[in-house]
Amino acid sequence: MMSRTPEPEKETVYLGFGSNLGDRAVYYRRALAALTNAPGVEVIRHSALREYPPMGPAQPDYLNGVIEIRTTLPPRELLGTLQRIEAQLERTREIHWGPRTVDLDILFWGLKILEQEDLKIPHPGACERRFVLEPLSELCPGLVDPKSGRTVREILSKLGRRTMTESRRWKLIAVEGPPGSGKTALASALSERLNARLMLDQIHENPFLELFLADMRRYALHTQISSLLSRCQQQSEVAQPDLFHPVTVTDYMMARDEVFAQVNLSSEEYRLYVHLRSALARNFTRPDIVLFLQARSEFLQPRLKQREERESRRLARAYLDKLIDAYGTYFLHYHDSPVLMLDMEHLDLEHQRMDLDALEREMEQLREGRRMVVPVAL
């Protein structure tokens, strides 16, 4: 009777991914698919993608991530598999540290140490590079570097803090403020800068909005409940992680719904609204930081007039003052997240641009409480 050859044991390996050419997220998905179909390789999980500045010559920023696999392949065969996937995805090797569609590297292979001319495990420099350590710490912060004996968490802690643009330490940034303050423009600019998922309030899709603007008293409750249902649905999407956009920026927080309800509804309607909201508005993701845009109505009214002429809508000055007062009262007692209050009276984002470098520095410094700043225009 012939004895069966035992199957080789699967070993856990961590791979690094990087891309800074073309549609980087698409290349990531294609690399994952190719790894999933590769013989002897099982994809276990992967980190969120993060954007990092490049090393070497001037080139676009990278999207980086880490992929955990289990494999029966020996190291050199796995290296060959990775290089074939890179070639399939149009990787060229013309410039050292140059731009590339896909870069797949073996980072760590258990406690294995391998020193060959073209294959070194752990990967050289892995313990010095944030674009390796940060996504790796998401998957396995207790992983031990066999050369130093330190964990990924310990190595990363020695590197110190970075700016917000590099570290993406916030998962949810909420921009809030009264009509005309520029919240949607700022949220859009931040999301583009941070490669973040953008979620905008869908108030203009409210089927009762036009009726409400024509007869506020009659249609206040209809409009408020419709907005509440829409925002609850969108907030459930905010709570779902996005593989390719670990940061989410919104141009509202759920507080907006309550602020408008206090201004628009009668006492009986407000009690009904609170009852409904308490049943629906559970387990919402708390913003990691709130940017609260402030300005008096005399500064907001001219901006709104320009927009209202395009949209054939009107907001009375007295109504705008009520909203501004309600926002001020709400944030006076709000302590769930750090609040950066931005004085927008002399900065109209419809016609000017904000210095986002300066804004990021202010955001990074604010760890708790609130602070008022006057943003810088470019």
Q: Is 303 left (phi over 0), alpha (psi -120 to 50) or beta?
A: alpha
Cα 275 from chain centroid (whole Å): 32
The span from the first CA to the last CA of the chain, in angstroms, equals: 82
Between the CA of residue 273 and those of 62, 177, 255, 262, what are the distances in Å? 46, 22, 13, 10
Cα 184 from chain centroid (whole Å): 16
Q: Which of 29, 30, 70, 100 is catalytic?
A: 100
Active site residue 288: no
Cα–Cα dist 168/244, whole Å: 13
Instruction: Return the CA Rg of the chain.
Output: 26
Cα–Cα dist 252/257, whole Å: 9
Helix (H, G, I), strand (E, B) or coil at 206: coil
Q: Which of 4, 23, 70, 91 is catalytic?
A: 91
Cα–Cα dist 125/147, whole Å: 12
Structure token digits, residue 65: 């991530």
The closest of 117, 103, 107 to 68, measured between CA atoms, is: 107
Cα–Cα dist 219/112, whole Å: 69
Active site residue 105: yes
Active site residue 371: no
Cα–Cα dist 36/361, whole Å: 41
Active site residue 100: yes
Helix (H, G, I), strand (E, B) or coil at 106: strand
* C-alpha dihedral sign at 179, 200, 255, 275: positive
Residue 16 is which amino acid? G
Residue 72 is which amino acid? T
The closest of 18, 37, 121, 125 to 84, measured between CA atoms, is: 37
Q: Which of 24, 103, 145, 251 is catalytic?
A: 103
Cα–Cα dist 253/338, whole Å: 13
* DSSP secondary structure string for all residues of 50-96: EEEPPSSSS-PPEEEEEEEEEE-S-HHHHHHHHHHHHHHTT---SST
Q: Which of 24, 105, 145, 277 is catalytic?
A: 105
Catalytic residue numbers, as ranges: 91, 100, 103, 105
